[in-house]
A and B are shown apart, each in its own frame.
Chain A
């Protein structure tokens, strides 16, 4: 995750300093970067061969959450539109998937439940599209609202969404929820068997298969978002965040761009919702409450607003933490299994990320991505002490060393 923050000051200073940076340093930096990326990818690829089901399930949940967080970050971090409606768009994706690919009817409580029984791929694609459509429908409202009004208005969508899930039983399963169908791709099921599969002697069951599905989708989501941010529309969105007036003067169509970023962000949320349904195996109203929206907000704040890699890191932190606490409840101090006096795993995790949000906003607004970037830039500069204040340090700015002459401060990188 050595990619740079795209938050404006850091990004601006980087592009400004790039030409003056000596080629050797640049080459060393990019080699280190590629080695790190390759190592991370390799690790993720062989992960299922060495770790058991718990880790794989946690990993799949993290991949799903990372996709949602990247989407929310495009909206909140990059474009500056505070949205608490993310849980709603997740719900649209998850519900559409279960309805389109689920089977009708059944025994007992499932009697009133309907489903179209189409292939899961269709369910996933249509789920993503419908979530995008929901975002597009909401965007005219969103485009009229500024800043904080949007935050609270989007809060309303979450409550309306939960109400609909509770009420619309044939589609959503109502209060008790319904099971999500197993995923399959052109005849290859992501279940425990059919076909039996062994790789290097390791049985590939549901968890292993889903891991790779999640990995591929999360990587695609990551690459798409990064490319988007570096493209013309991406720059437009960042300008929009900094000043709507300036953006429109520069020829950016404010309303259209807001609508588009809502569309993209909700499509991300829809995909994340589908993966969530797959990872839990069912959907229920309590999976899409305000708490979920706030969790996603926590992810992107912790990771660093505007940073794609940061969003993924934040997703890892917020999603994996409660699961880890649960798994190691007896080892950790203060944390205990439910009903044993101590703080239960879910609560402990919430305390931790609540505190983390406050600390990050107070002391490191660029989030984990900011910290990571400072570390890598220190490494690249030959362990020269990193300078810069707390807020968005300009780590690669050669001018951070005093330069008496008006020449560009060449060589300050190779100290």
Chain B
């Protein structure tokens, strides 16, 4: 029972990180109709910048500059590529983000090489025990920070003028534009917010129990894709639920690996995709996604 609760808690904390990534993914999709395959390498960029800068700027400075770099990269992609392709087919847009991803990821992998860069989190690598349930401090902080950010995000999304503008243009772009909402600005801001969220996720994703920044972080970041998809690409709440679901499923599968040996070692890493395909079989638009209607 304690093992189950411990796995559940660890899964939720991992899921909170996935939810941050998936949330960025979803708001980009809502604001600019782009499925951003750049997100994995953006996250790696954030992790790499934080790790590299923390020697000179100290931890806090490195985190701030790292977040700015990630947000800036997302902004540049939006301004110079996505914005020029307004109205292009969804597949072309997805493909162009894959192009950006290839370049960014290649450069980062070239720089990181076979090394594992360490990020000196002030909370270190210790674990704490809460009533017999063990969790690393890093994951605990991650859960708290992710929780605060997600609440902040939902409040902003609901009440701030940016949130209203974004929901309006996601609902009906043309009408929103006629009402004086500048879609370019909405879309750019969405990318920046998504970049920041990815940067924060990167900060916690490379802390314990993960050893540090290596090119394997990219594969971890990719597992937020199924989270966004199974929640429904255009649903922010779905991204949250999807993230938590994927995190818990992965953690449980990894924890009970001994009982699942017939599925092979390392099955936990595949579980997010299995869950996603299973959910999509039942609900093709994800759990909370808007059903696509065809009108004649």
Interface bits A366-378 vs B (CB < 8 Å: 1, else 0): 0000000000000
**Is the Cβ of A350 less than 8 Å from the Cβ of B276?**
no
Kindly name the residue among A144, A163, A166 whose own CB sees the greatest number of chain B CB atoms within 10 A.
A163
25 residue pairs of the A-B complex, CB under 8 angstroms, read A82-B94, A145-B280, A145-B284, A146-B285, A148-B91, A149-B229, A152-B35, A152-B225, A156-B272, A163-B264, A163-B267, A163-B269, A163-B270, A166-B266, A245-B296, A347-B106, A347-B110, A353-B102, A354-B102, A354-B106, A358-B99, A358-B100, A361-B96, A362-B85, A362-B96
Query: Is B176 an interface residue, CB under 8 A from the partner?
Result: no
Chain A residue contacts of B266, Cβ below 8 A: 163, 166
Chain A residue contacts of B277, Cβ below 8 A: 141, 153, 156-157
**Is the Cβ of A357 less than 8 Å from the Cβ of B269?**
no
**Which residues in window 224-252 of B have CB below 8 A to A?**
225-226, 228-229, 233
Interface bits A58-87 vs B (CB < 8 Å: 1, else 0): 000000000000000000100010100000
Size range of the chain B interface in the assembly:
35 or more
Query: Is A167 an interface residue, CB under 8 A from the partner?
Result: yes
Contact A160:B292 (CB < 8 A) given known A145-B284, A147-B90, A357-B102: no
In the assembled complex, the Cα of A358 lies from the Cα of B97 at a distance in Å of 8
Query: Is A244 an interface residue, CB under 8 A from the partner?
Result: yes
Known: A148-B35, A153-B276, A347-B109. 19 other contacts (CB 8 A): A80-B91, A141-B280, A144-B284, A149-B280, A153-B229, A156-B277, A157-B277, A163-B267, A294-B102, A297-B95, A301-B95, A347-B106, A347-B110, A351-B103, A353-B102, A358-B99, A358-B100, A361-B92, A361-B95
Query: Is A107 an interface residue, CB under 8 A from the partner?
Result: no
Query: Is B81 an interface residue, CB under 8 A from the partner?
Result: yes
Kindly name the residue among A148, A155, A163, A361 whose own CB sees the greatest number of chain B CB atoms within 10 A.
A361
Contact A156:B294 (CB < 8 A) given known A354-B100, A354-B102: no
Query: Is A365 an interface residue, CB under 8 A from the partner?
Result: yes
Task: Report the minimum CB–CB distance from B206 to chain A (whole Å).
Answer: 21
Interface bits B62-94 vs A (CB < 8 Å: 1, else 0): 000000000000000000010011001011101
Query: Is B59 an interface residue, CB under 8 A from the partner?
Result: no
Task: Report the minimum CB–CB distance from A295 to chain B (whole Å).
Answer: 9
Task: Report the minimum CB–CB distance from B21 to chain A (whole Å).
Answer: 13
Q: Which residue of A lies closest to B93 (CB)?
A: A361
Task: Report the minimum CB–CB distance from B177 to chain A (whole Å).
Answer: 23
**Which residues in window 294-309 of A have CB below 8 A to B?**
294, 297-298, 301
Chain B residue contacts of A199, Cβ below 8 A: none
Query: Is B265 an interface residue, CB under 8 A from the partner?
Result: yes
Q: Which residue of B lies closest to A144 (CB)?
A: B284
Query: Is B1 an interface residue, CB under 8 A from the partner?
Result: no
Contact A159:B294 (CB < 8 A) given known A152-B229, A298-B102: no
Task: Report the minimum CB–CB distance from B23 to chain A (whole Å).
Answer: 16
Chain B residue contacts of A82, Cβ below 8 A: 91, 94-95
Query: Is A23 an interface residue, CB under 8 A from the partner?
Result: no
**Is the Cβ of A152 less than 8 Å from the Cβ of B90?**
no
Task: Report the minimum CB–CB distance from A284 to chain B (whole Å).
Answer: 16
Contact A160:B98 (CB < 8 A) given known A144-B284, A148-B35: no
In the assembled complex, the Cα of A358 lies from the Cα of B103 at a distance in Å of 10
Query: Is A355 an interface residue, CB under 8 A from the partner?
Result: yes
Interface of B is mostly: helix
In the assembled complex, the Cα of A68 lies from the Cα of B152 at a distance in Å of 47
Contact A357:B35 (CB < 8 A) given known A145-B280, A146-B284, A152-B229: no
**Is the Cβ of A153 less than 8 Å from the Cβ of B94?**
no
Contact A156:B276 (CB < 8 A) given known A163-B266, A166-B266, A245-B294: yes
Kindly name the residue among B229, B265, B276 whose own CB sees the greatest number of chain A CB atoms within 10 A.
B229
Q: Which residue of B lies closest to A76 (CB)?
A: B91
Q: Which residue of B lies closest to A148 (CB)?
A: B35
**Which residues in window 319-360 of A have CB below 8 A to B?**
343-344, 347, 350-351, 353-358
Task: Report the minimum CB–CB distance from A7 to chain B (whole Å).
Answer: 12
Query: Is B157 an interface residue, CB under 8 A from the partner?
Result: no
Query: Is A46 an interface residue, CB under 8 A from the partner?
Result: no
In the assembled complex, the Cα of A67 lies from the Cα of B7 at a distance in Å of 46
Query: Is A151 an interface residue, CB under 8 A from the partner?
Result: yes
**Is the Cβ of B94 less than 8 Å from the Cβ of A148?**
yes
**Is the Cβ of A350 less than 8 Å from the Cβ of B102?**
yes
Q: Contact check: which of B96, B110, B264, B292 meets A343 at CB < 8 Å?
A: B110
Query: Is A200 an interface residue, CB under 8 A from the partner?
Result: no
Query: Is B162 an interface residue, CB under 8 A from the partner?
Result: no
In the assembled complex, the Cα of A76 lies from the Cα of B90 at a distance in Å of 12
Query: Is B153 an interface residue, CB under 8 A from the partner?
Result: no
**Is the Cβ of A244 less than 8 Å from the Cβ of B99?**
no
Q: Which residue of B lies closest to A167 (CB)?
A: B264
Query: Is A35 an interface residue, CB under 8 A from the partner?
Result: no
In the assembled complex, the Cα of A354 lies from the Cα of B104 at a distance in Å of 9
